[in-house]
Structure 1
Amino acid sequence: MTHLPTIINDLAMILLVAGVTTILFKKINQPLVLGYIVAGFITGPHFNFFPTITDKANVHAWSEIGVIFLLFALGLEFSFYKLKSVGSTAFIATAVEIGGMLAVGYFAGTLLGWNHMDSLFLGGMLSMSSTTIIIKAFDDLKLRAQRFTEIVFGVLIIEDIAGIVMMVLLATMAVASADVSTMELLLSIGRLIFFLVLWFVLGMYLVPSFFKWAKQLMNEETLVVVSIGLCLGMVVLATQLGFSSALGAFIMGSLIAEAPNAEKIEHLVAPIKDLFGAVFFVSVGMMVDPAILLEQALPIFVLVVATIIGKLIFSTGGVLASGQSLNTSVHCGFSLAQIGEFSFIIASLGMSLGVISSFLYPIIVAVSVITTFTTPFCIMAAEPFYQKLLKLLPSQAKSWLDRYTGTTTDDDKDQDWKNLLTGYTMRMLIFITLLAAIALGAEYYLLPYLGNTLKLPYSRLLTAAATFIIMSPILRAVLVNRAGNGDLFSKLWFKKRANHLPLMFLVFGKLLVASASLYFIFHTLLKLHGFLACVSILLATYFISSSDWLMSEYLRIESRFLVNLNEKHMRKHRESTPSDSRTWFDEDLQLVYYDLQKDSSIIGKTLRSLGFRESYGCNVLQLLGSNRTVDMPGGEQIVEKGDKLLLIGTASQLQVFDAAVRQRSLGLERCDLPQSLREFMLDNHQNKPEQQFLSLAITIDKHSPILGTSLKAADLRNKWSCLVVGLERGAFTITNPHVSLVFEENDLLWVLGKQKMMNTLIREEIL
């Protein structure tokens, strides 16, 4: 008789039993996860009326693969735009809920006499709600259209991310034992943030770009092979760096999610995820020991009560703290009162690390099963509980809640500062991470490698040169004027003098980062000291900050990154927008006229010396004088007495310009309120044909004369008699693009001009 490997026998038994149980559970309208757990119990070692799995090691390995694919699929469903769109409500609610349930779980475990690590992992397990169970309950109760369900799904998105981070921290604490110090924990968090940012930036730049490039070369077969290969490769890398395999799988899934064919990949990977996921949940059921459940009946009851009551209190309180109404908060809190699949994954992590007791796994499974059945009843009880609570609350408490949830504490000033600091922090975090990664790679990999092949000082010179070249585009972005958001920086600068000092601190922080990076190159790598090092740093800073080529290289990199990050969302938005709707920049751009006063300080100055574009981001579209009309004036054009200036820019850019006009006493007086480009073009049609402004879209193909050149070098103002007002790259749009932006093939360029522009474009066969 031919020998059949044990794993095939076991797999056949697992899948056959799982198939039968899931069909039965589908018939009685229960979650399939429970069917898998029952199948695991039936085929496990604690059920003697059925053949038992013999090769537990292989099943355990398959279940680990199941966790990898579950997290990979979770990453494929994830979207960075979705994370951005959930708003502060989901972040605040999740922070309160997870923080509260971590404390509840830890203290419950301590009261039950469990050790420190059991209690810590218990807190992590109790803090995670079940997406699968909640979605099913909402569908069964036909609640998906309710307002509160959007908040619940937002909380679940943040919970998934928090769960990944929690697994990394729990694994760190488990490996370091219970004696881990606060400093070690902070270093672990910093290390995690460093690698997350690095993987996010490099992955977002490379992975979607690769799938775009190879789209025509890959069929369904190669798409699956490449995607799973990237997933497992990231798992190996994350594991070698000391992180969990789940983290690597989730990160690669979230990066592939931004690829143009992400939906197809998700569809192709789904059956594989379902297969290995089923094995994982079956392995969960195999851990269930009825003897332990009977022995631990009291702890199970205590944890079920703690889970439901704790989730009701902290989830409701978190949503309420975010500013939502009491009604919405109660419905959200009652919807999140269960634990599920992520709790099993955390329990599996603890078991694989050997840091939690064996009895904890079946207890968590029992708590999950019970709270799964109670979830629909909790959701249905939300409205009666809310009505009862309204009757019990004193009128003063209800008035306070109405005031708290009905107002916002952010005024315009605080919101401007919040937006500026958020953008500044995110950009600097990315820049510092990239610069640190380059420095570490140079010192610990490139320098030793070159040191073995070249003699000193050539190895150091070559390492320093390579490091300087790679760092330069990033340093050019760090040294760009203001704090990374010119409009907000200028708006706050001109709003009041009290803003000057904190804004200068932000600029100083950028200079400090750039100086530290250059110090590493000249001092650490080249071993320069004292005066020579300082002079080298100053000269390098001047060279980098004044280089248009470096700025164009950085903008090329940044635009590719932003296209990859936003393209999928923008494409969906475009597909959902009627084809006859207005052009995207019709409302983004505004125009306004300014009269030049007789004593204006700018009379006799060139537009280049005034620096309206460099300082405020807006362009002078037209100069109107008593004896002249200058369309799209160049930088050498002189402002004359009696001129009227027509400026074009975004709403925020024109607000900043107006504030600067008042504070700097430029002698300009606004004629009227700004009007949108759409309104301006409608009014413009009343003019004579030769005086009308025209807006055109020009596709840059491989034969275009401006392909590969920057906006500044192309000099379209003089060559084509037009002003560039917008650019589309893929589905990503840029308003008033930077002069250093380099044109790429298939860019769509939006320009403004008059009949002269049209004649030029037709003559040169651009149109």
Structure 2
Amino acid sequence: MTHLPTIINDLAMILLVAGFTTILFKKINQPLVLGYIVAGFITGPHFNFFPTITDKANVHAWSEIGVIFLLFALGLEFSFYKLKSVGSTAFIATAVEIGGMLAVGYFAGMLLGWNHMDSLFLGGMLSMSSTTIIIKAFDDLKLRAQRFTEIVFGVLIIEDIAGIVMMVLLATMAVASADVSTTELLLSIGRLIFFLVLWFVLGMYLVPSFFKWAKQLMNEETLVVVSIGLCLGMVVLATQLGFSSALGAFIMGSLIAEAPNAEKIEHLVAPIKDLFGAIFFVSVGMMVDPAILLEQALPIFVLVVATIIGKLIFSTGGVLASGQSLNTSVHCGFSLAQIGEFSFIIASLGMSLGVISSFLYPIIVAVSVITTFTTPFCIMAAEPFYQLVLKLLPPQAKSWLDRYTGTNTDDDKDQDWKNLLTGYTMRMLIFITLLAAIALGAEYYLLPYLGNTLKLPYSRLLTAAATFIIMSPILRAVLVNRAGNGDLFSKLWFKKRANHLPLMFLVFGKLLVASASLYFIFHTLLNLHGFLACVSVLLAAYFISSSDWLMSEYLRIESRFLVNLNEKHMRKHRESAPDDSRTWFDEDLQLVYYDLQKDSPIKGRSLRSLGFRESYGCNVLQLLGTHRTVDMPGGEQIVEQGDKLLLIGTSSQLQVFDAAVRQRSLGLERCDLPQSLREFMLDNHRNKPEQQFLSLAITIDKHSPILGTSLKAADLRNKWSCLVVGLERGAFTITNPHVSLVFEENDLLWVLGKQKMMNTLIREEIL
């Protein structure tokens, strides 16, 4: 008789029982997760009326794979654009809810006499709501179209991210000791942020690009193998660096989610996720011991009450604190009053680390099951509770709530500073992370490796040279004149003199980061000291900041990163609205005429010396004088008395220019309100053919004469008699591109010109 491995017998029993129980639960209109838990209880060691599994170790290993695939699938459904679009409401509400429930869970555990680690993990479990249960309840109650459901889904997205971070921090605290110092915790958080940023930047640049390159070479079979291989590879890497396997799986899933064939990968991986996920939830049910549940009836009751009341208070309060109305806040809070599958994953983490008591797992399963059944009733109770609160609230409280949750608009100054600081912080965080990673790699890996094969001076020289070359494009971006957002920087600079000092501090911060990176190369790697190292830093900084080639290399890297980040969203947008695929170009660009005043200080100066493009981002499209009309004037063109200047730029760039005109007394007066390019082109068609401006889109293919050259080197203004106003690179759109940008194959170049431009392009066979 042929011998079957034990795992096959166990899997046959698990899947057959799980199949029948889930069919039953589907029939009675209950979540499938509960069916899996019941199947686990039936096949587990605590139910004596049915055969039980014999190899617990193998089932446990398969359940860990289930956690990996559940988190990988969660990452595949994740979108960085969606995270950006959920707004501050979801972030504030999630922070209040998780912070409050962590405290509720911890103090509830301590009051029940549990130890510190049990209570800490309990707080983490109680803070996570169930996406599966909420979606099912909304569908059953036909509430998906309600306004509050969008906020609930936003909160669930942020909760998933917070859950991943929480697992890492809980694991760190559990492994270190029961009493982790504040310093150790802060170091763990800093280390986590460092690796998350590094993985995000490198992964977003490499992973979607790889899938795009290999798209035609991979069939469905290869796609599954490669995707799962990358997932497990990131799991191994994350584990070796001291993080959880769940974090690695989620990160790789979120990176693959931005690939062009992400939907297909998600579809192909779904059956594998369902299989292993089922085994995980069945293994959860195997932990349920009726004896412990009866013994722990009081703690279960206490935690159910704490979960429902705590979620109602903190979820409602968090949404209310974010500025939403009382009605919306109450409905959101009552929708989130349960715990679900993520709590099982946190509990599983605690069990695998051996830091939580065995009785906690079945208790949390029982709390989850009970709150699952109460969820629809809580959602239906939201409206009556809201009406009751309205009746009980004093008039003064109602008036205060109306003022607090009313529409508040920041003034321009506060909003501009907020946008500038947000962009500056994000860019500097990415730059510092990348520079630190390069420095650490050079000092701890490259230098020792070369030191074993080369003599000492040469190993240091080669390490320093390689580090300098790799860092240079990033340092070129750090050393640009403005603090990350040139338009906002200039707008704030020209708006008020009091802004100059804080803006200079931001620039000083960038210079400090660049100087520290260069000093590391010359002092640590080359072993130069004192004055010589400082002089080398200054010379290197001057070389980097003046290099157009380095700027073009950085822009190439940045554009590829932004294409990968935005392509999935832009592709869906264009599929849903194909007629609006070019509206960014028509609406983003605006044109306005300025009259030159008699006493203007710019009279008699060349356009190059005025530097309108470099300082404000605007281009001079036309000089219209009494006896002359100069289209697409070059830098040598002189501004004369009586000229009218036609400027083109984005709305923010023109605002910067207006502020500069006022502060610097340039002697220019706006003739009229700005027109969008669409409006300008419609009015322009009324002119004679030879006076009309033409807008053309030119695809740069492999035969294009400007492929691989920068905008500055191509000199299209003189060669083609046109002005480059926009560029599309995949989903990445650039208005008024930087002169150092290098053209790549399949770029779509937008140009403005007149009939002379058309004749040139036809003659050179560009069109």
Q: Please, what TM-score do these two structures have when normalized by structure 1?
A: 1.00
Shift in Å at residue 628 of structure 1?
Answer: 1.0
Superposed CA offset, 1:507-555 (max 9, x none)? 0000000000000000001111121111110000000000000000000
Shift in Å at residue 627 of structure 1?
Answer: 1.4
Shift in Å at residue 581 of structure 1?
Answer: 7.0
Shift in Å at residue 400 of structure 1?
Answer: 0.4
What SS does the corresponding residue of 1:311 show, helix, strand or coil?
A: helix
What SS does the corresponding residue of 1:593 show, helix, strand or coil?
A: strand
Distance 1:144 1:713 in 2: 54
Residue of structure 2 equivalent to 1:540: 540
What SS does the corresponding residue of 1:727 show, helix, strand or coil?
A: strand
More displaced stretch, 680-689 vs 149-158: 680-689
CA contact (8 A) 2:632 2:723 kept: yes
Superposed CA offset, 1:216-257 (max 9, x none)? 000000000000000000000000000000000000000000
Shift in Å at residue 179 of structure 1?
Answer: 2.1
Residue of structure 2 equivalent to 1:366: 366
Superposed CA offset, 1:192-215 (max 9, x none)? 000000000000000000000000
CA contact (8 A) 2:7 2:58 kept: yes
Distance 2:52 2:649 in 1: 73
Unaligned runs of 5+ in 2: none
Residue of structure 1 equivalent to 2:441: 441
Task: Say if 1:178 and 1:451 are closer, same or farther in 2 by CA, change over 3 A.
Answer: same
Superposed CA offset, 1:17-64 (max 9, x none)? 000000000000000000000000000000000001010000000000
Shift in Å at residue 683 of structure 1?
Answer: 0.9
Unaligned runs of 5+ in 1: none
Distance 2:339 2:582 in 1: 47
Task: Say if 1:331 and 1:583 are closer, same or farther in 2 by CA, change over 3 A.
Answer: closer
More displaced stretch, 448-457 vs 62-71: 448-457
More displaced stretch, 530-539 vs 99-108: 530-539
How many residues align structurally?
Answer: 767
Distance 1:684 1:106 in 2: 69
Shift in Å at residue 458 of structure 1?
Answer: 0.5
Distance 1:469 1:126 in 2: 49
1:703 aligns with 2:703: yes
CA contact (8 A) 2:258 2:565 kept: yes
Distance 1:62 1:154 in 2: 31
Distance 1:369 1:265 in 2: 32
Distance 1:700 1:635 in 2: 26
Residue of structure 1 equivalent to 2:7: 7
Shift in Å at residue 415 of structure 1?
Answer: 0.7
Shift in Å at residue 374 of structure 1?
Answer: 0.1
Shift in Å at residue 178 of structure 1?
Answer: 1.5
Shift in Å at residue 410 of structure 1?
Answer: 2.3
Distance 1:542 1:371 in 2: 63
Residue of structure 2 equivalent to 1:335: 335
CA contact (8 A) 2:574 2:581 kept: no
Shift in Å at residue 731 of structure 1?
Answer: 2.2
Shift in Å at residue 686 of structure 1?
Answer: 1.1
Distance 1:484 1:578 in 2: 32
What SS does the corresponding residue of 2:687 show, helix, strand or coil?
A: coil
Residue of structure 2 equivalent to 1:16: 16
CA contact (8 A) 2:102 2:126 kept: yes
Shift in Å at residue 576 of structure 1?
Answer: 1.4
Distance 1:608 1:172 in 2: 58
Superposed CA offset, 1:65-87 (max 9, x none)? 00000000000000000000000
Distance 1:339 1:318 in 2: 17
More displaced stretch, 229-238 vs 674-683: 674-683
Distance 1:620 1:630 in 2: 10
Superposed CA offset, 1:566-612 (max 9, x none)? 00101111111142776431110000111111111111111111110
CA contact (8 A) 2:574 2:580 kept: no
Superposed CA offset, 1:256-303 (max 9, x none)? 000000000000000000000000000000000000000000000000
Superposed CA offset, 1:686-731 (max 9, x none)? 1110110000000000000000001111100001000011111112
More displaced stretch, 615-624 vs 407-416: 407-416
More displaced stretch, 105-114 vs 636-645: 636-645
Distance 1:636 1:564 in 2: 39
What SS does the corresponding residue of 1:640 show, helix, strand or coil?
A: coil
Distance 2:582 2:454 in 1: 61
Superposed CA offset, 1:660-698 (max 9, x none)? 000000111111111111111111111110110000000
Distance 1:307 1:584 in 2: 47
Distance 1:447 1:732 in 2: 38
Task: Say if 1:488 and 1:686 are closer, same or farther in 2 by CA, change over 3 A.
Answer: same
Shift in Å at residue 426 of structure 1?
Answer: 0.2
Distance 1:320 1:446 in 2: 52
What SS does the corresponding residue of 1:584 show, helix, strand or coil?
A: helix
CA contact (8 A) 2:549 2:740 kept: yes
Task: Say if 1:169 and 1:580 are closer, same or farther in 2 by CA, change over 3 A.
Answer: closer
What SS does the corresponding residue of 2:669 show, helix, strand or coil?
A: strand
What SS does the corresponding residue of 2:164 show, helix, strand or coil?
A: helix
Superposed CA offset, 1:135-163 (max 9, x none)? 00000000000000000000000000000
Distance 1:434 1:585 in 2: 33
More displaced stretch, 137-146 vs 579-588: 579-588
Distance 1:400 1:412 in 2: 25
CA contact (8 A) 2:711 2:741 kept: yes
Residue of structure 2 equivalent to 1:672: 672
More displaced stretch, 212-221 vs 579-588: 579-588
What SS does the corresponding residue of 2:421 show, helix, strand or coil?
A: helix
Task: Say if 1:747 and 1:145 are closer, same or farther in 2 by CA, change over 3 A.
Answer: same
Task: Say if 1:157 and 1:749 are closer, same or farther in 2 by CA, change over 3 A.
Answer: same
Task: Say if 1:292 and 1:416 are closer, same or farther in 2 by CA, change over 3 A.
Answer: same
Residue of structure 1 equivalent to 2:121: 121
Shift in Å at residue 653 of structure 1?
Answer: 0.1
More displaced stretch, 619-628 vs 425-434: 619-628
Distance 1:410 1:47 in 2: 62
Shift in Å at residue 409 of structure 1?
Answer: 5.9
What SS does the corresponding residue of 1:453 show, helix, strand or coil?
A: coil
Task: Say if 1:349 and 1:425 are closer, same or farther in 2 by CA, change over 3 A.
Answer: same
What SS does the corresponding residue of 2:404 show, helix, strand or coil?
A: helix
Superposed CA offset, 1:466-522 (max 9, x none)? 000000000000001110100000111111111110000000000000000000000
What SS does the corresponding residue of 1:746 show, helix, strand or coil?
A: coil
What SS does the corresponding residue of 2:579 show, helix, strand or coil?
A: coil
Shift in Å at residue 616 of structure 1?
Answer: 0.5
CA contact (8 A) 2:729 2:748 kept: yes
Alignment of 1:271-286 (within 5 A): 271-286=271-286
Distance 1:541 1:408 in 2: 44
Superposed CA offset, 1:639-670 (max 9, x none)? 11111100000000000000000000011111
What SS does the corresponding residue of 1:129 show, helix, strand or coil?
A: coil
Shift in Å at residue 407 of structure 1?
Answer: 3.2
Shift in Å at residue 331 of structure 1?
Answer: 0.2
Distance 1:297 1:720 in 2: 82
Distance 1:613 1:732 in 2: 21
Distance 2:589 2:577 in 1: 19
Shift in Å at residue 108 of structure 1?
Answer: 0.2
Task: Give the RMSD, CA atoms, in angstroms.
Answer: 0.7
More displaced stretch, 386-395 vs 529-538: 529-538
More displaced stretch, 625-634 vs 117-126: 625-634
Distance 2:19 2:142 in 1: 28
Distance 2:157 2:116 in 1: 29
Residue of structure 2 equivalent to 1:520: 520
CA contact (8 A) 2:495 2:659 kept: yes
Distance 1:275 1:571 in 2: 31
Task: Say if 1:160 and 1:382 are closer, same or farther in 2 by CA, change over 3 A.
Answer: same
Residue of structure 1 equivalent to 2:493: 493
Distance 2:83 2:429 in 1: 18
What SS does the corresponding residue of 2:717 show, helix, strand or coil?
A: helix
Superposed CA offset, 1:383-410 (max 9, x none)? 0000011000001100100000003262
